Amino acid sequence: MSESTSFPISATHFGDLDEAACDGCQGEGRQLGFEFSYAFQPIVDLRVGSIYAYEALVRGPNGESAGCVLAQVTDHNRYRFDQACRVKAIKDAVRLGLGELPETRLSINFLPNAVYRPEACIRTTLAAARSQGLPLERIIFETTEGERVGDGRWYAEVMSEYRRIGFLNAIDDFGAGYAGLALLADFQPDLIKLDMGLLRDVDSHRPRQHIIKAVLDLCREMGVQVIAEGVETLAERDWLWQQGARLMQGYLFARPAFQRLVPADEIEALLR
């Protein structure tokens, strides 16, 4: 394994970090050649009737789709884009009121293939969290299972180090990508997000029911929390609840809100 997999940064070094220490890791201050913004969608905890986290979803500067932004990401700017996303998500969420919700987390998508030097690339995230007063344990790093990761063990080491520093981590779209159970064997995240394709009409689709029950049982055994992603109907919600799923996300509760954090009282009835 190359020296790029060594991780000298720890939480004890937090106060010594320099946001400009690494070229290419200077967040939204670096020129990308295009602008972007965020919409935020709540992840709800039905067990306590509250919002567990807000997922930051990239949008164009005027609310254009994520595809319009991601189409401009290339191998040349992927690294800077990933860094800029982390910094802007933290700043926007705090500006919109996340800092006043001490039990609510922020989930940030990141590109594992953009992490070239993990020990340097985490610096701007730490600096942004520090400057905004957002505790590290309230930040979730979320990566999709569908993202091709060339070295699964290296990826597991990156995420293990993020956890050691204090972040939570999640595998998105679980059950839809390339890695599947092999990735879960190498690394046990704090959370997995079940792919919405698996959840569609699950209340009446027996093969999907068997798969989801097996995943829920497996995650309980491994101490991994499950988020049911893409919940759209009351029937889907109720079936998942009966199987022990407590964390959910989807249009049933709230659509992504551009530059806004949807307050819990707007989805209170569904949370109950």
Place of tokens 């551009």: 258
Query: What confidence tier does 177 reach under pLDDT thresholds 50, 70, 90?
Result: low
Domain residue ranges of the chain, discontinuous segments joined by +: 12-264
Q: What pLDDT was estimated at residue 111? A: 73
pLDDT in tens, 247-265: 999 999 999 999 999 999 9
Whether the per-residue pLDDT at 55 is higher than 70: the answer is yes
Res 220 pLDDT > 90: yes
Band the pLDDT of 119: cuts 50, 70, 90: low
Mean pLDDT score across all residues of the chain:
83
Question: For residues 216, 217, 221 and 225, what is the CA-based torsion angle, rounded to 10 degrees?
Answer: 10
- pLDDT of 6 reads 34
Instruction: Give me the mean pLDDT over the 68-81 stretch.
Output: 89
Residue 120's pLDDT band (cuts 50, 70, 90): low
139-167 confidence digits (pLDDT tens): 999 886 555 555 567 777 778 888 888 99
Angle 90-94-98 from CA coordinates, rounded to 5°: 110
Of 152 and 225, the one with more pLDDT: 225
- The CATH superfamily label for domain 12-264 reads EAL domain (3.20.20.450)
Percent of the chain with pLDDT over 90: 58
- In tens, the pLDDT along 3-47 reads 333 333 333 333 333 333 344 444 444 468 899 999 999 999 999
Tell me: pLDDT of 112 over 70: no
- Low-confidence winner among 67-71, 87-91, 186-190 (lowest mean pLDDT): 186-190
Least confident of 58-67, 70-79, 147-156, 162-171: 147-156
| pLDDT value for 150 | 52
